[in-house]
A = this chain, B = another copy of it.
Amino acid sequence: MTISADPTPSEAAAQAPAPPSRRELNKAATRQAITDAALALLRSKGPGNFTVEDIADAAGISRRTFFNYFGSTDAALASVTHGFLDNAIQQFRLRPADEPVLQSAQEALMALADPMTVAPLAELFTLTQQSSLMSHSELEAWDHCREQITAVARDRASATPGAADELYLRALAGSVISCGKAAMEVWFFRRGADLSPASLAELRQLLIDAMALLGSGFTIGGTPAPSSSASRSS
């Protein structure tokens, strides 16, 4: 009956590369107008200081139509994160199946540490003042990503000797997500919304370090010693 707000434009475009019909163009434009309006209001009024009606008015649609696209203001904002993580999963799936999961994750993340890709996420993070308590939709996006990683790891494991241990898969995927989040949090904390080459290089190094920590079991020399290879605390 009503529109399902699930598929991201990029997904739909990937599945239907040919026919950008007028209806789909309108929908994509409306969706974009909503997220733009929501981000603009976030910038101007701050988190929690605007309503769905504000967004709808700014986007030039009715309040009811907003809810045809997103379930809440948080969900509209979280589409930014969703887009980024969908991108990450896409890169992750492109890695060779015989590569260790941790390395695949690292390589996939490297491919995303460019200004254009990171900028929206960085802005969203700073505007919501990395309050550590993400919105529900935000957390759902990360959890969705975790499930995707689990699925890929499961596929890879099923192609090898024994059947996959569910604990191994879930613990690994969850840890990868946690470490990725940790690296980004530290980066945002140190650099704010700085997107300079030096700052992005530091982000890459943090992501590499985080995956290395995970791969080494958090024991640098046999005991739980902090301070990894390259990244320096400010």
Chain A residue total in the interface (Cβ 8 A): 53
Chain B residue nearest to A156 (CB atoms) is B224
Chain B residue nearest to A231 (CB atoms) is B167
A147–B182 CA distance with the chains assembled, in angstroms: 12
A136–B100 CA distance with the chains assembled, in angstroms: 33
A225-B160 in contact (CB<8A): yes
* CB neighbours of A231 from chain B (8 A): 165, 167
A43 touches B (CB below 8 Å): no
A183 to chain B, nearest CB (A): 6
Q: A227 with B175: in contact, given A168-B213, A186-B167 (CB under 8 Å)?
A: no
**Measuring CB to CB, which residues of chain A are less than 8 angstroms from any residue of chain B?**
100-102, 132-133, 136, 139-140, 143, 147, 157, 160-172, 174-175, 177-179, 181-183, 185-186, 189, 206, 209-210, 213-219, 223-228, 231, 233
